[in-house]
Amino acid sequence: MKWTPRGRSANLDDLRGSRAGGFGGALPKMGIGGFIVLLLLSFIFKRDFFALVGGGGDPTAGQTTQSAPVPTTPEEEKLIQYVSVVLDDTQDTWSKIFAKDGQTYRPARLGIFTDAVRSGCGVAESAMGPFYCPADERVYIDLGFYNELRQRFQADGDFAQAYVIAHEIGHHVQHQLGISDKVRQAQEENPDRANEYSVRLELQADCLAGVWAHSTSQRDILDQGDVEEALGAAAAVGDDRIQQQATGGVQPETWTHGSSEQRMHWFQEGFQSGDINRCDTFSAR
């Protein structure tokens, strides 16, 4: 992706020099599986299940207590500036899309952290990967995830990194459009299909990431191979591939994000059409 450093985004929060407040430095262990289960239970039963493990679900939980600043290497600072450019570009794009429909886009914030963070959705560790918290309208990412994406999942390239951010901003778009609330209501009314609704929500976020990628193509800021990098990242984090790597088997009924094929398909749908209306994953078979 063609880009020029512009400094850090006004919507970027560097939380690496902070600790999660209220725990005296002792953070409960929570991987991606536990976090998703607690999040789904909180949505379905409208109770704060994070509080049971000390995470809390108060929107103010995203606030942090400052400790010592963390030194940044030139390589890290370059990555932070790239993340800032992608963050601002995705949100500029959605601002224009919303404006065409007579709506006002409310920018999300993005917090970079190390090891663990306390968000409005509870305490999470870097092991769970990047996530969006609707309670404080903030995307969270440990930049070390990009090393894992490259080394563990074999998904390299700057546009693979951009795809991750665009996907999480897609969740913010869903939140603003009321889609996330409808999904939570559907999960509450039909808990047996909670995982299916989660998959459809995630696949729609992939499609919305593709809509943003379409805009970068229209503006001629894509480099050769960028789309392939994004598709490689989408495939790498498919539930089937992750389960196969972890357990040697695949259990579709436990998926929360969709298969590699599904994630690639919906990113391509958004990229090729550039049309948010083509991202109706809930009506698709």
Q: What is the pLDDT of residues 61-72, one digit of tens each?
A: 444 434 456 778
Predicted confidence band of residue 114 (pLDDT cuts 50, 70, 90) = very high
Does residue 285 lie in a domain region?
Answer: no
Q: Is residue 3 domain-resident? A: no
Domain count, the chain: 1
- Tell me the three state secondary structure of residue 30: coil
CA distance 58 to 153: 34
**Nearest one of 277, 165, 262 to 211, comparing CA atoms:** 277
User: Is 29 buried (19+), middle (13-18) or exposed (0-12) by CB count in 10 A?
Assistant: exposed
The angle that helices 226-236 and 260-273 make with each other, rounded to 10 degrees, is: 150
- Please write the tens of the pLDDT for every residue from 203-214: 999 999 999 999
Q: Which pLDDT value is given to residue 188?
A: 95
pLDDT band at 228 (very low <50, low <70, confident <90, very high): very high
The single residue listed with the structure tokens 């305490």 is 123
At 24 the pLDDT is: 35
In this prediction the pTM is 0.83
Q: How far apart are CA 174 and CA 183, in angstroms?
A: 10
Residue 28 has pLDDT above 90, yes or no: no
Query: What is the spatial distance between Cα 47 and Cα 153, in angstroms, rounded to a whole number?
Result: 35
Please tell me the distance from the alpha carbon of residue 127 to that of residue 105, in angstroms, as a whole number.
30
For residue 5, being part of any structural domain is answered with: no
Contact residues for 241 (Cβ-Cβ < 8 A; gap 6+): 153, 235, 259, 260
Is residue 264 domain-resident?
yes
User: If DSSP codes are grouped into helix, strand and coil, which group holds residue 108?
Assistant: coil
Which residues are paired to 19 by β-bridges?
Answer: 65
Residue 283 resides in a domain: no
Q: Does residue 252 form part of some domain? A: yes
Domain interval for residue 50: 12-278
In a domain, 2, yes or no: no
Question: Does residue 98 sit within a domain?
Answer: yes
DSSP secondary structure of 165-227: HHHHHHHHHHHHHTHHHHHHHHHHH-GGGHHHHHHHHHHHHHHHHHHHHHHHHHTT-PPTTHH
pLDDT bracket for residue 37 (50, 70, 90): low
